[in-house]
Chain A
Amino acid sequence: MLPNIPELVIFLVLAVIAVAAALGMLASSNAIYSALFLVVNFGVVATFYLLLGAPFIAMAQVTVYAGAIMVLFLFVIMLLGAEKMKQTSHNLLWQKPLSIVLIVLLLSISFYVVLGQGVSVGSDLMQNASGYGSPSAIGTLLFQKYLFPFEATSILLLAAMVGAVVLTGVRRQRRRIRKSRRL
């Protein structure tokens, strides 16, 4: 069963944009550009989520990923003034070639599995009911079946917050130590 042509065209265009953005992120020497390319990529992926019938996830993708996380990235880059790397003399001789070989191997294996006879996927697509993936459906599942993991994530986020504060709050600590030494 083949998809209809317009759908396929939209998919292919978006896919090309996503891959191109990813490659741009990989290739650009300026970290700001990398970040912006990644925002593009995330946006495209959000669109895919919409196409796949996951509007809630798509919105979350835009707000959390493309919005909050990428802003944080940009903020840090600008804070540190580390848009560009200084050229250093470190040279891991066989890192680059070996990496490329491995990536090619990974790609080929994966494609072999995905597109070849490995796993039969996409053969029995079904039309999901309306309201599938809606915020209310997600919410119901999240607060019933996944209540405990959901609560655990709150602790995880709290821990991350505390960790970030402690890690970056070093200066104040040092001052305190100095004070105690003076005493």
Chain B
Amino acid sequence: MIPTSYYLALSVILFAIGVAGVLLRRNAIILFMAIELMLNSANLVFVAYSRQFGALDGQILVFFVMTVAAAEVAVGLALIVTIFRSKASIDVDDISMLKG
């Protein structure tokens, strides 16, 4: 049996890579993918703990997270399409009109 801590370590690394994607990339679509990566790392933790404590609730939560992620992606991509139509760009740095 692989100890839960190993999975936790792996999910930490994946999460950090996701954070790096959000902070460093300018492509809005890749930004979204990074977010999906972070959600995935969180899911991994849920499932790992679910196994450790023998409670299925963790898996159920993963199921819900997936649903939310699906909804989020649908709306997010719709937003990106809309923005692209008006700006002809998916660079998040181009969307900076709302500033002081």
Contact = CB atoms under 8 A, between A and B. Distances in A.
Contacts of A126: 52, 54
A121 interface: yes
Contact of B51 (A23, A52, A92, A138): A52
Given A38-B37, A85-B26, A141-B56, A11 B6 contact: yes
Given A3-B1, A122-B3, A99 B40 contact: no
Contacts, number: 233
Nearest to A46: B40
Interface in A96-134: 96, 99-100, 102-103, 106-107, 110-111, 114-115, 121-122, 124-126, 128, 132-133
Contact of A107 (B12, B24, B71, B91): B12
A22 B17 contact: yes
B44 A48 contact: yes
Interface string B72-90: 1111011111101100011
Interface residues of A, number: 84
Contacts of B2: 3, 7-8, 11, 51
B7 A69 contact: no
Nearest to B28: A82
A164 B80 CA distance: 11
B75 to A, nearest CB: 5
Among A111, A114, A146, max chain B CB count under 10 A is at A114
A65 B67 CA distance: 10
Given A35-B33, A149-B64, A65 B40 contact: yes
A22 B82 contact: no
A142 interface: yes
19 contacts: A1-B3, A19-B17, A22-B18, A26-B17, A34-B33, A41-B14, A54-B47, A61-B66, A72-B77, A73-B29, A80-B81, A103-B16, A107-B12, A110-B12, A110-B16, A114-B5, A114-B9, A132-B56, A146-B60
